[in-house]
Structure 1
Amino acid sequence: MTDVNGKFKGYDLIGDVHGCGLSLELLLDKLGYSKKDGIYSHPERQVIFLGDIVDRGPRIREALHIVYDMVTSGAAQIVMGNHEFNFLSYCTEGKEGSGLSYLREHSPRHHRILAETLEQLANYPDEREMFLQWFREMPVYLEFDNFRVVHACWHQKLIDRFELEYPNHIFDDRFLHRSSKRGTFEWACMDRLLRGTHLRLPDGEVMVSKDGYERRFFRTKFWSEEPELYGDVVFQPDPLPEHIARLKLTEQDYNDLLYYGPEEKMLFIGHYWREGEPAPITSNIACLDYSAVKYGKLVAYRLDDEQTIQPDKFVWVDVQKEIADELGL
């Protein structure tokens, strides 16, 4: 497999970094990338980042510089994550008459999620503006001859419509502002592609997740062929309460779910906070988010010419172990 210019023989897809700058350097070293003029590159391969470089971690600014330099030099590509989109929306003022001060409300909950990014860039206003402009230029998804990349979920109907207007997969200012209005196509597109499929908890129930947030929705699989119960489709670290997991899916639930079948191209996603040893979800779907910022693993997949996802091609650093080793602890 080579790119259109014949330069690269393979791709290394890397999951959610979330400010784990040191772990990212360790993973790039492990993948055979080296620094030249301060930028990581490989003579025969290119990285594709799955988004969510920002938020939560201790070295957000450093991670941003590593990824930005790689992308702008051609050593990497990237798709937008929901955290880049959220940060961009949080920092973008609403238009006059819109009723919005900012596209993403400056609520305590939203500030809490973005707090580390805001703090770590606070003394670097020029860099912050540079990164925000870069976020505006990020494609929402990438598609190649035999694989696809999107942060959370591949929704073909939404993508088909999006591509009619944005064939380079990059939205414009009008789209960004309309995406803040629930019920619009733009809002639905960003919600589904960057946050995935989800169902509302029945009967007004509320869950408190491990990170302390109250949640009325739960993330769902989009590859279950014939699910029957809520427990058949849940896809998140926090399990459903047993009494909910045993409930049957309703007709409306089925309408809200998607199905990405085994005949589709290989699909690489992040977003879902997986745990354990990295492995394929199905023969053609791999999630590369293994909770690096929660001392899990920062994961890559080494893609060459295969047509199905191979279990032995995941590469990772164990964040807790490798950082301890690096620091001599």
Structure 2
Amino acid sequence: MNILVTGSAGFIGFHLTKSLLKLGHNVLGIDNINDYYDTSLKHARNEELIRFCKENKYEKQYEFILVDIANSAAVADIFNNHIFDRVIHLAAQAGVRYSIDNPTAYVNSNLVGFVNILEGCRQQSTAHLIYASSSSVYGMNTKIPFSTSDRVDYPISLYAATKKSNELMAHAYSHLFNLPTTGLRFFTVYGPWGRPDMAYYSFTKKIINNETIDVFNNGQMMRDFTYIDDIVQGIVGIINKPPALKKMSGSSAQAAYQIYNIGNNKPITLDRFIQAIETAVGKKALRNNKPMQPGDVPTTYADTAELMHAVGFQPSTEIEEGIQEFVDWYQSYTETKNK
């Protein structure tokens, strides 16, 4: 199949692109390589994809285009010049706390950019659009585990609000234009080539460098940490499962529309998470315990029964194993980068 992956220089997009190429698909990756975090890592991912393609003779299967999805004309050109069997939309302005200080970045990327992707899919009658939502949409929900049947009307960050908006926008396009859309609510994804703004990355860096780490809520927050390989397995599994046209619960509206949680279904404490890093690094952390941050939630916990029923999704990576893989990559990457 011919597949468009937006955000291909990002963490999840990079790993997904590799997996799709291995499976024999043709991939067009697009990304704007913005400076939300160190662009050298994004360029390094692109270089790794090029090396990977050369080593495995995938050069004819992969193309990369530098483009900002907020640019409607540029996105239209992508769809006018390529035919896609599937579109996997991962490009977005990420980060809960960053949205407090930089709201415009989220409007441009997560709202304007998403409309541009929806329009491209509509014009081309794409057979299936898969897009990234987030566990952040659950806000301060007190019922756990989080289920896609739960109400998500009270976001506590602009980032979460934009992701909920994406789900609503996708439903409108599914209903109006019979565009099959599947939204995936990601739960705290981690692993090699990950994002430097994520806690596991910054904790690892600081522990190695004997720097103090800020531990919010005294380490008692619970997170459904999900290893990247498990996430990719879930995305790949859903590619050929476009939702059928159906009536929405409590409504006469019909849409080929689906939302899934994609997480580990095994939340752990931040304390255990830190201990896993300490073990992998071989050094104890210097901790500065602090209260909860604005925009944070005490627990994330994914009910993944629907995705398991649909594609047999069953994460298998324990936190200690996944963190060890990350730390091994991090040490190798930083050593190479510092040469």
**In which range does the TM-score fall when normalised by the shorter chain?**
0.3 to 0.5
Q: TM-score, normalised by structure 2?
A: 0.33
Q: TM-score, normalised by structure 1?
A: 0.33
Which structure has more helix as a fraction of its residues? Answer: 2
